[in-house]
Structure 1
Amino acid sequence: MELGLHYWNYSHPAATDRIASTLAHTARIAEQAGFAQFTVMDHYFQMELRGTAEEPMLEGYTTLGYLAALTERMRLGLLVTGVMYRYPGLLAKIVTTLDVLSGGRAELGIGASWYEREQRGLGVPVVPMAERFERLEETLQICLQMWGPDNGPYKGEHYQLAETLCVPVPLSRPRPPIRIGGGGERKTLLLVARYADACNLFASSPEEVAAKLAVLRAHCEAEGRDYDAIRKTGVYVSDALGDPDQVLRDAEQLAALGITELDFMPDGDPIAFTTEFAERLLPRLATI
Protein backbone atom coordinates (compact mmCIF):
# COMPACT_ATOMS: atom_id res chain seq x y z
CA MET A 1 0.00 0.00 0.00
CA GLU A 2 1.24 3.49 -0.86
CA LEU A 3 0.94 6.29 1.67
CA GLY A 4 0.18 9.95 1.16
CA LEU A 5 0.56 12.90 3.52
CA HIS A 6 -2.26 15.43 3.32
CA TYR A 7 -1.04 18.76 4.73
CA TRP A 8 -4.20 20.64 5.65
CA ASN A 9 -3.26 22.91 8.56
CA TYR A 10 -0.83 25.85 8.60
CA SER A 11 -1.56 26.85 12.20
CA HIS A 12 1.42 25.04 13.73
CA PRO A 13 3.66 26.79 14.52
CA ALA A 14 1.69 29.98 15.11
CA ALA A 15 4.37 32.33 13.72
CA THR A 16 3.76 33.19 10.05
CA ASP A 17 7.49 33.44 9.34
CA ARG A 18 7.85 29.75 10.24
CA ILE A 19 5.14 28.42 7.92
CA ALA A 20 7.51 27.89 4.99
CA SER A 21 10.28 26.20 6.97
CA THR A 22 7.81 23.91 8.75
CA LEU A 23 6.20 22.90 5.46
CA ALA A 24 9.62 22.28 3.90
CA HIS A 25 10.87 20.22 6.85
CA THR A 26 7.70 18.12 6.89
CA ALA A 27 7.93 17.42 3.16
CA ARG A 28 11.56 16.35 3.43
CA ILE A 29 10.78 14.00 6.32
CA ALA A 30 7.86 12.52 4.38
CA GLU A 31 9.90 11.92 1.25
CA GLN A 32 12.85 10.40 3.12
CA ALA A 33 10.48 8.14 5.05
CA GLY A 34 8.87 6.78 1.90
CA PHE A 35 5.57 8.62 1.45
CA ALA A 36 4.52 8.35 -2.19
CA GLN A 37 2.37 11.48 -2.37
CA PHE A 38 2.17 14.91 -0.73
CA THR A 39 -1.06 16.87 -1.07
CA VAL A 40 -2.41 20.16 0.22
CA MET A 41 -5.92 21.62 0.31
CA ASP A 42 -7.49 23.96 -2.21
CA HIS A 43 -8.99 26.38 0.28
CA TYR A 44 -8.49 30.05 1.04
CA PHE A 45 -10.16 30.05 4.46
CA GLN A 46 -9.60 27.19 6.89
CA MET A 47 -12.56 24.80 6.92
CA GLU A 48 -14.91 25.61 9.78
CA LEU A 49 -15.55 21.94 10.50
CA ARG A 50 -11.82 21.64 11.29
CA GLY A 51 -11.12 25.05 12.84
CA THR A 52 -11.98 28.67 12.16
CA ALA A 53 -11.94 30.60 8.91
CA GLU A 54 -9.46 33.05 10.42
CA GLU A 55 -6.71 30.44 10.72
CA PRO A 56 -3.83 30.68 8.21
CA MET A 57 -4.31 29.11 4.78
CA LEU A 58 -2.05 29.15 1.71
CA GLU A 59 -3.02 29.02 -1.96
CA GLY A 60 -2.59 25.45 -3.10
CA TYR A 61 -0.77 25.50 -6.42
CA THR A 62 1.71 28.14 -5.26
CA THR A 63 2.45 25.87 -2.31
CA LEU A 64 2.96 22.88 -4.58
CA GLY A 65 5.37 24.87 -6.74
CA TYR A 66 7.41 25.60 -3.63
CA LEU A 67 7.39 21.91 -2.71
CA ALA A 68 8.40 20.88 -6.23
CA ALA A 69 11.75 22.60 -5.71
CA LEU A 70 12.28 20.91 -2.34
CA THR A 71 11.40 17.31 -3.23
CA GLU A 72 12.47 14.83 -5.86
CA ARG A 73 10.26 11.76 -5.75
CA MET A 74 6.81 12.32 -4.22
CA ARG A 75 3.82 13.01 -6.43
CA LEU A 76 2.31 16.43 -5.79
CA GLY A 77 -1.32 17.51 -6.01
CA LEU A 78 -4.28 19.22 -4.44
CA LEU A 79 -6.77 17.12 -2.53
CA VAL A 80 -8.70 18.46 -4.27
CA THR A 81 -8.90 21.40 -6.68
CA GLY A 82 -12.22 23.23 -6.35
CA VAL A 83 -13.74 23.39 -9.79
CA MET A 84 -15.05 26.95 -9.36
CA TYR A 85 -11.72 28.52 -8.45
CA ARG A 86 -9.94 28.54 -11.84
CA TYR A 87 -10.93 28.67 -15.50
CA PRO A 88 -10.40 25.15 -16.92
CA GLY A 89 -7.91 26.13 -19.63
CA LEU A 90 -5.81 27.98 -17.08
CA LEU A 91 -6.08 25.06 -14.66
CA ALA A 92 -4.66 22.72 -17.32
CA LYS A 93 -1.75 25.13 -17.79
CA ILE A 94 -1.19 25.43 -14.02
CA VAL A 95 -1.02 21.64 -13.59
CA THR A 96 1.20 21.36 -16.67
CA THR A 97 3.56 23.96 -15.19
CA LEU A 98 3.74 22.02 -11.94
CA ASP A 99 4.34 18.81 -13.87
CA VAL A 100 7.19 20.27 -15.94
CA LEU A 101 8.90 21.96 -13.00
CA SER A 102 8.57 18.90 -10.76
CA GLY A 103 9.96 16.50 -13.36
CA GLY A 104 6.65 14.81 -14.11
CA ARG A 105 5.22 14.46 -10.59
CA ALA A 106 1.98 16.45 -10.82
CA GLU A 107 -1.52 15.09 -10.33
CA LEU A 108 -4.81 16.81 -11.05
CA GLY A 109 -6.93 16.16 -8.01
CA ILE A 110 -10.33 17.78 -8.55
CA GLY A 111 -13.85 17.90 -7.20
CA ALA A 112 -16.97 20.03 -7.01
CA SER A 113 -16.15 23.01 -4.78
CA TRP A 114 -18.38 23.39 -1.73
CA TYR A 115 -17.10 25.97 0.79
CA GLU A 116 -19.52 28.83 0.16
CA ARG A 117 -18.18 31.15 2.87
CA GLU A 118 -14.79 31.48 1.20
CA GLN A 119 -16.41 31.74 -2.23
CA ARG A 120 -18.73 34.54 -1.19
CA GLY A 121 -16.01 36.17 0.86
CA LEU A 122 -13.54 36.32 -2.03
CA GLY A 123 -15.97 36.93 -4.86
CA VAL A 124 -16.07 33.46 -6.41
CA PRO A 125 -19.42 32.79 -8.10
CA VAL A 126 -21.67 30.51 -6.07
CA VAL A 127 -23.76 28.37 -8.39
CA PRO A 128 -26.22 25.53 -7.73
CA MET A 129 -24.81 22.09 -7.10
CA ALA A 130 -26.10 20.72 -10.40
CA GLU A 131 -24.22 23.43 -12.28
CA ARG A 132 -21.04 22.77 -10.30
CA PHE A 133 -21.10 19.18 -11.52
CA GLU A 134 -21.78 20.29 -15.09
CA ARG A 135 -18.76 22.59 -14.83
CA LEU A 136 -16.71 19.77 -13.31
CA GLU A 137 -17.43 17.50 -16.25
CA GLU A 138 -16.60 20.22 -18.76
CA THR A 139 -13.39 20.99 -16.88
CA LEU A 140 -12.35 17.35 -17.08
CA GLN A 141 -13.08 17.30 -20.81
CA ILE A 142 -11.09 20.50 -21.35
CA CYS A 143 -8.07 19.28 -19.41
CA LEU A 144 -8.06 16.02 -21.34
CA GLN A 145 -8.25 17.93 -24.63
CA MET A 146 -5.52 20.36 -23.53
CA TRP A 147 -3.28 17.36 -22.77
CA GLY A 148 -4.09 15.58 -26.02
CA PRO A 149 -3.26 16.17 -29.69
CA ASP A 150 -6.36 18.29 -30.45
CA ASN A 151 -5.48 22.00 -30.20
CA GLY A 152 -8.81 23.06 -31.62
CA PRO A 153 -11.79 24.73 -29.96
CA TYR A 154 -13.94 23.45 -27.15
CA LYS A 155 -17.59 24.40 -26.98
CA GLY A 156 -19.51 23.55 -23.86
CA GLU A 157 -22.49 24.99 -22.08
CA HIS A 158 -20.41 26.83 -19.49
CA TYR A 159 -16.97 27.14 -21.13
CA GLN A 160 -15.96 28.02 -24.67
CA LEU A 161 -12.29 27.92 -25.71
CA ALA A 162 -11.17 29.11 -29.13
CA GLU A 163 -7.95 27.06 -28.79
CA THR A 164 -6.75 24.32 -26.47
CA LEU A 165 -3.06 24.87 -27.09
CA CYS A 166 -0.81 23.66 -24.25
CA VAL A 167 2.92 24.12 -24.80
CA PRO A 168 5.04 22.69 -23.31
CA VAL A 169 3.18 19.44 -22.94
CA PRO A 170 3.32 17.70 -19.55
CA LEU A 171 6.22 15.40 -18.79
CA SER A 172 3.89 12.81 -17.24
CA ARG A 173 2.90 10.13 -19.71
CA PRO A 174 0.44 9.99 -21.19
CA ARG A 175 -0.56 13.04 -19.09
CA PRO A 176 -0.89 14.02 -15.43
CA PRO A 177 -3.14 11.51 -13.67
CA ILE A 178 -6.61 12.69 -12.72
CA ARG A 179 -7.99 11.90 -9.27
CA ILE A 180 -11.57 12.87 -8.46
CA GLY A 181 -12.35 13.37 -4.80
CA GLY A 182 -15.69 12.63 -3.16
CA GLY A 183 -18.11 9.81 -2.66
CA GLY A 184 -21.29 11.17 -4.24
CA GLU A 185 -22.91 8.12 -5.78
CA ARG A 186 -25.01 9.67 -8.55
CA LYS A 187 -22.55 12.19 -10.00
CA THR A 188 -19.06 12.10 -8.48
CA LEU A 189 -18.46 8.39 -8.87
CA LEU A 190 -20.03 8.48 -12.33
CA LEU A 191 -17.45 11.09 -13.37
CA VAL A 192 -14.72 8.87 -11.93
CA ALA A 193 -15.90 6.05 -14.17
CA ARG A 194 -15.95 8.34 -17.21
CA TYR A 195 -12.77 10.35 -16.82
CA ALA A 196 -10.54 9.61 -13.83
CA ASP A 197 -7.45 7.55 -13.23
CA ALA A 198 -8.19 7.43 -9.50
CA CYS A 199 -10.92 8.07 -6.97
CA ASN A 200 -10.49 9.42 -3.46
CA LEU A 201 -12.92 8.48 -0.72
CA PHE A 202 -13.18 9.23 2.97
CA ALA A 203 -11.97 6.03 4.62
CA SER A 204 -14.40 6.39 7.49
CA SER A 205 -15.08 2.66 7.70
CA PRO A 206 -14.42 -0.40 5.53
CA GLU A 207 -18.17 -0.93 5.20
CA GLU A 208 -18.76 2.54 3.76
CA VAL A 209 -15.79 2.26 1.42
CA ALA A 210 -17.05 -1.11 0.21
CA ALA A 211 -20.45 0.40 -0.56
CA LYS A 212 -18.92 3.30 -2.49
CA LEU A 213 -16.69 1.00 -4.50
CA ALA A 214 -19.67 -1.17 -5.37
CA VAL A 215 -21.37 1.92 -6.79
CA LEU A 216 -18.23 2.80 -8.72
CA ARG A 217 -18.06 -0.70 -10.15
CA ALA A 218 -21.66 -0.42 -11.34
CA HIS A 219 -20.91 2.93 -13.02
CA CYS A 220 -17.88 1.39 -14.73
CA GLU A 221 -19.98 -1.45 -16.08
CA ALA A 222 -22.56 1.00 -17.41
CA GLU A 223 -19.86 3.20 -18.99
CA GLY A 224 -17.84 0.33 -20.45
CA ARG A 225 -14.85 1.25 -18.25
CA ASP A 226 -12.41 -1.21 -16.72
CA TYR A 227 -13.02 -0.93 -12.97
CA ASP A 228 -9.61 -2.38 -12.18
CA ALA A 229 -7.90 0.36 -14.20
CA ILE A 230 -9.02 2.98 -11.65
CA ARG A 231 -6.73 3.49 -8.66
CA LYS A 232 -8.66 3.53 -5.39
CA THR A 233 -7.40 5.89 -2.69
CA GLY A 234 -8.78 7.08 0.62
CA VAL A 235 -8.28 9.71 3.31
CA TYR A 236 -7.88 8.16 6.75
CA VAL A 237 -10.05 10.29 9.01
CA SER A 238 -9.39 8.74 12.44
CA ASP A 239 -6.53 9.50 14.81
CA ALA A 240 -3.61 7.69 13.21
CA LEU A 241 -1.16 7.85 16.10
CA GLY A 242 -3.62 7.16 18.91
CA ASP A 243 -4.01 3.46 18.09
CA PRO A 244 -1.49 2.20 15.52
CA ASP A 245 -2.77 -1.37 15.77
CA GLN A 246 -6.25 -0.19 14.75
CA VAL A 247 -4.80 1.74 11.84
CA LEU A 248 -3.05 -1.41 10.68
CA ARG A 249 -6.26 -3.45 10.95
CA ASP A 250 -8.21 -0.79 9.04
CA ALA A 251 -5.53 -0.59 6.35
CA GLU A 252 -5.57 -4.36 5.87
CA GLN A 253 -9.37 -4.34 5.46
CA LEU A 254 -9.22 -1.40 3.06
CA ALA A 255 -6.46 -3.05 1.04
CA ALA A 256 -8.62 -6.16 0.72
CA LEU A 257 -11.33 -3.95 -0.78
CA GLY A 258 -8.89 -2.57 -3.38
CA ILE A 259 -7.62 0.62 -1.72
CA THR A 260 -3.99 1.03 -2.82
CA GLU A 261 -3.20 4.40 -1.22
CA LEU A 262 -4.14 5.91 2.14
CA ASP A 263 -3.64 9.62 2.82
CA PHE A 264 -2.98 10.66 6.41
CA MET A 265 -3.50 14.11 7.91
CA PRO A 266 -1.03 15.54 10.45
CA ASP A 267 -2.73 16.54 13.67
CA GLY A 268 -1.07 19.39 15.53
CA ASP A 269 2.63 19.86 14.86
CA PRO A 270 3.18 18.43 11.35
CA ILE A 271 6.89 17.80 11.87
CA ALA A 272 6.31 15.85 15.06
CA PHE A 273 3.40 13.94 13.51
CA THR A 274 5.29 12.96 10.37
CA THR A 275 8.39 11.96 12.31
CA GLU A 276 6.42 9.76 14.70
CA PHE A 277 4.30 8.31 11.90
CA ALA A 278 7.44 7.41 9.95
CA GLU A 279 8.91 5.63 12.96
CA ARG A 280 5.84 3.86 14.33
CA LEU A 281 3.45 3.24 11.45
CA LEU A 282 5.01 3.58 8.03
CA PRO A 283 7.18 0.43 8.12
CA ARG A 284 4.18 -1.65 9.17
CA LEU A 285 1.81 -0.14 6.61
CA ALA A 286 4.33 -0.50 3.80
CA THR A 287 4.11 -4.30 4.11
CA ILE A 288 0.38 -4.40 3.33
Structure 2
Amino acid sequence: MRRQRQLKERFEHLEDTLRIAHRMFDGDERPYDGTHHRLERPLNNPSPVRRPPIMIGGGGERKTLRMVAQYADACNLFETRDPAGLEHKLSVLKRHCDDVGRPYEEITRTTFGMIGPYDVGPAVERFGRLSEQGVDLALVDLPDPRDDEAYAFLAEVVRQVAPLGRPLPVPAASAAVG
Protein backbone atom coordinates (compact mmCIF):
# COMPACT_ATOMS: atom_id res chain seq x y z
CA MET A 1 0.00 0.00 0.00
CA ARG A 2 2.85 2.40 0.84
CA ARG A 3 4.46 1.83 -2.57
CA GLN A 4 1.17 2.68 -4.32
CA ARG A 5 0.90 5.87 -2.28
CA GLN A 6 4.49 6.82 -3.14
CA LEU A 7 3.91 6.14 -6.83
CA LYS A 8 0.68 8.16 -6.82
CA GLU A 9 2.50 11.07 -5.19
CA ARG A 10 5.37 10.89 -7.69
CA PHE A 11 2.88 11.13 -10.56
CA GLU A 12 1.20 14.09 -8.86
CA HIS A 13 4.59 15.85 -8.60
CA LEU A 14 5.29 15.05 -12.25
CA GLU A 15 1.95 16.44 -13.38
CA ASP A 16 2.46 19.62 -11.33
CA THR A 17 5.92 20.01 -12.89
CA LEU A 18 4.58 19.51 -16.42
CA ARG A 19 1.81 22.07 -15.84
CA ILE A 20 4.32 24.57 -14.46
CA ALA A 21 6.69 23.97 -17.40
CA HIS A 22 3.93 24.55 -19.94
CA ARG A 23 2.89 27.78 -18.20
CA MET A 24 6.46 29.03 -18.06
CA PHE A 25 7.14 28.16 -21.70
CA ASP A 26 3.94 29.98 -22.69
CA GLY A 27 4.85 33.08 -20.64
CA ASP A 28 1.92 32.59 -18.25
CA GLU A 29 2.98 34.25 -14.99
CA ARG A 30 -0.33 33.83 -13.15
CA PRO A 31 -0.08 32.13 -9.74
CA TYR A 32 -0.01 28.35 -9.84
CA ASP A 33 -1.66 26.30 -7.10
CA GLY A 34 -1.16 22.60 -7.80
CA THR A 35 -1.42 19.42 -5.80
CA HIS A 36 2.08 19.71 -4.32
CA HIS A 37 3.59 22.89 -5.76
CA ARG A 38 2.56 26.52 -5.44
CA LEU A 39 4.16 29.44 -7.22
CA GLU A 40 3.21 33.06 -6.84
CA ARG A 41 4.68 33.90 -10.22
CA PRO A 42 6.01 31.15 -12.50
CA LEU A 43 8.76 33.11 -14.23
CA ASN A 44 11.00 31.77 -16.94
CA ASN A 45 13.72 34.36 -17.37
CA PRO A 46 15.52 34.35 -19.64
CA SER A 47 12.98 32.68 -21.88
CA PRO A 48 14.22 29.91 -24.16
CA VAL A 49 14.83 30.72 -27.82
CA ARG A 50 12.25 28.06 -28.61
CA ARG A 51 10.07 25.98 -26.37
CA PRO A 52 12.08 23.02 -25.04
CA PRO A 53 10.54 19.70 -26.07
CA ILE A 54 9.22 17.39 -23.38
CA MET A 55 9.70 13.63 -23.61
CA ILE A 56 8.00 11.28 -21.18
CA GLY A 57 9.27 7.71 -20.93
CA GLY A 58 7.22 4.73 -19.84
CA GLY A 59 4.26 2.69 -20.94
CA GLY A 60 1.82 2.90 -18.04
CA GLU A 61 -1.55 2.88 -19.72
CA ARG A 62 -3.63 4.83 -17.21
CA LYS A 63 -1.27 7.60 -16.12
CA THR A 64 1.96 7.76 -18.10
CA LEU A 65 0.48 7.55 -21.59
CA ARG A 66 -2.32 9.94 -20.57
CA MET A 67 0.35 12.46 -19.49
CA VAL A 68 2.13 11.97 -22.81
CA ALA A 69 -1.11 12.83 -24.62
CA GLN A 70 -1.67 15.89 -22.44
CA TYR A 71 1.79 17.36 -22.01
CA ALA A 72 4.58 15.74 -24.04
CA ASP A 73 6.10 16.29 -27.45
CA ALA A 74 7.55 12.78 -27.48
CA CYS A 75 7.15 9.48 -25.69
CA ASN A 76 9.68 6.74 -25.10
CA LEU A 77 8.42 3.17 -24.84
CA PHE A 78 10.43 0.09 -24.00
CA GLU A 79 10.88 -2.11 -27.02
CA THR A 80 9.59 -5.62 -26.45
CA ARG A 81 10.10 -8.83 -28.37
CA ASP A 82 6.34 -8.99 -28.94
CA PRO A 83 5.28 -6.54 -31.68
CA ALA A 84 1.68 -6.75 -30.46
CA GLY A 85 2.74 -5.27 -27.11
CA LEU A 86 4.10 -2.11 -28.73
CA GLU A 87 1.10 -1.85 -31.05
CA HIS A 88 -1.16 -2.03 -28.00
CA LYS A 89 0.75 0.76 -26.18
CA LEU A 90 0.57 2.97 -29.27
CA SER A 91 -3.18 2.34 -29.60
CA VAL A 92 -3.65 3.29 -25.93
CA LEU A 93 -1.68 6.50 -26.56
CA LYS A 94 -3.85 7.25 -29.59
CA ARG A 95 -6.98 6.75 -27.50
CA HIS A 96 -5.68 9.16 -24.84
CA CYS A 97 -4.89 11.69 -27.57
CA ASP A 98 -8.46 11.36 -28.86
CA ASP A 99 -9.77 11.83 -25.30
CA VAL A 100 -7.85 15.10 -24.79
CA GLY A 101 -8.46 16.34 -28.34
CA ARG A 102 -4.86 16.22 -29.48
CA PRO A 103 -3.63 14.91 -32.83
CA TYR A 104 -1.74 11.66 -32.24
CA GLU A 105 0.64 12.56 -35.08
CA GLU A 106 1.96 15.54 -33.06
CA ILE A 107 3.74 13.17 -30.68
CA THR A 108 7.11 11.77 -31.69
CA ARG A 109 7.07 8.08 -30.80
CA THR A 110 10.37 6.56 -29.72
CA THR A 111 11.46 3.22 -28.34
CA PHE A 112 14.37 2.13 -26.21
CA GLY A 113 16.02 -1.25 -26.59
CA MET A 114 19.28 -3.14 -26.39
CA ILE A 115 21.46 -3.74 -29.42
CA GLY A 116 23.21 -6.95 -30.31
CA PRO A 117 24.35 -9.26 -31.71
CA TYR A 118 25.92 -7.18 -34.47
CA ASP A 119 24.04 -8.81 -37.33
CA VAL A 120 22.88 -6.17 -39.82
CA GLY A 121 20.09 -8.18 -41.50
CA PRO A 122 17.99 -8.89 -38.40
CA ALA A 123 18.62 -5.37 -37.08
CA VAL A 124 17.38 -3.77 -40.31
CA GLU A 125 14.31 -6.02 -40.14
CA ARG A 126 13.73 -5.09 -36.50
CA PHE A 127 13.98 -1.33 -37.03
CA GLY A 128 11.97 -1.55 -40.24
CA ARG A 129 9.19 -3.26 -38.27
CA LEU A 130 9.31 -0.51 -35.65
CA SER A 131 8.97 2.10 -38.39
CA GLU A 132 5.97 0.25 -39.85
CA GLN A 133 4.37 0.24 -36.40
CA GLY A 134 4.63 4.03 -36.22
CA VAL A 135 7.87 4.48 -34.28
CA ASP A 136 9.72 7.61 -35.37
CA LEU A 137 13.00 7.03 -33.57
CA ALA A 138 14.65 3.99 -31.98
CA LEU A 139 17.06 4.67 -29.13
CA VAL A 140 19.51 1.89 -28.37
CA ASP A 141 21.85 0.97 -25.55
CA LEU A 142 25.27 -0.20 -26.61
CA PRO A 143 26.85 -2.94 -24.49
CA ASP A 144 30.19 -1.09 -24.64
CA PRO A 145 30.16 2.54 -25.83
CA ARG A 146 33.91 2.33 -26.60
CA ASP A 147 33.39 -0.49 -29.11
CA ASP A 148 34.21 0.76 -32.62
CA GLU A 149 32.56 -2.34 -34.11
CA ALA A 150 29.25 -1.27 -32.54
CA TYR A 151 29.42 2.13 -34.21
CA ALA A 152 30.29 0.65 -37.61
CA PHE A 153 27.38 -1.77 -37.21
CA LEU A 154 24.97 1.03 -36.27
CA ALA A 155 26.15 3.20 -39.16
CA GLU A 156 25.35 0.42 -41.63
CA VAL A 157 21.97 -0.28 -40.01
CA VAL A 158 21.07 3.43 -40.10
CA ARG A 159 22.14 3.67 -43.75
CA GLN A 160 19.73 0.86 -44.64
CA VAL A 161 16.87 1.81 -42.32
CA ALA A 162 16.83 5.62 -42.69
CA PRO A 163 14.86 5.58 -45.97
CA LEU A 164 12.04 3.73 -44.14
CA GLY A 165 11.41 6.48 -41.61
CA ARG A 166 9.55 9.76 -41.59
CA PRO A 167 11.16 13.16 -41.06
CA LEU A 168 11.08 14.27 -37.43
CA PRO A 169 9.82 17.67 -36.34
CA VAL A 170 12.81 19.74 -35.22
CA PRO A 171 11.91 20.13 -31.50
CA ALA A 172 11.33 16.42 -30.96
CA ALA A 173 14.46 15.49 -32.88
CA SER A 174 16.54 17.73 -30.64
CA ALA A 175 14.94 16.15 -27.56
CA ALA A 176 15.95 12.70 -28.67
CA VAL A 177 19.49 13.74 -29.46
CA GLY A 178 20.08 16.02 -26.48
**Post-superposition offset of 1:150:** 1.1
Q: How does 1:113-124 map to 2 (within 5 A)?
A: none
Asked whether 1:183 is paired with 2:72, we answer no
Structure 2 counterpart of 1:138, from 16, 20, 25: 16
* Structure 1 or 2: more helix by fraction: 2
Asked whether 1:250 is paired with 2:114, we answer no
Cα distance in structure 2, aligned partners of 1:132 and 1:145 = 20
**Post-superposition offset of 1:157:** 1.6
Cα distance in structure 1, aligned partners of 2:158 and 2:103 = 31
Aligned position for 1:217: 94
In the superposition, relative to structure 1, how do residues 226 and 269 fare at CA in structure 2: closer, same or farther (>3 Å)? closer
Asked whether 1:168 is paired with 2:54, we answer no
TM-score of the pair, normalised by structure 1: 0.52
Between 1 and 2, higher relative CO (CA 8 Å, sep ≥ 6) is seen in 1
TM-score of the pair, normalised by structure 2: 0.82
Asked whether 1:236 is paired with 2:110, we answer no
Extract unaligned runs of 5+ from structure 1. 1-115, 117-126
Cα distance in structure 1, aligned partners of 2:18 and 2:149 = 35
**Post-superposition offset of 1:275:** 2.8
Instruction: Give RMSD over aligned pairs.
Output: 1.9
Q: Find the residue that maps to 1:236 and give its secondary structure.
A: strand
Aligned position for 1:45: none
Paired positions, count: 160
Cα distance in structure 2, aligned partners of 1:267 and 1:285 = 21
Q: How does 1:104-115 map to 2 (within 5 A)?
A: none
Tell whether the 8 Å contact from 1:236 to 1:264 is kept in structure 2 after alignment: yes
Cα distance in structure 2, aligned partners of 1:269 and 1:176 = 27
Indicate the percent of aligned positions where both proteins have the same amino acid: 38
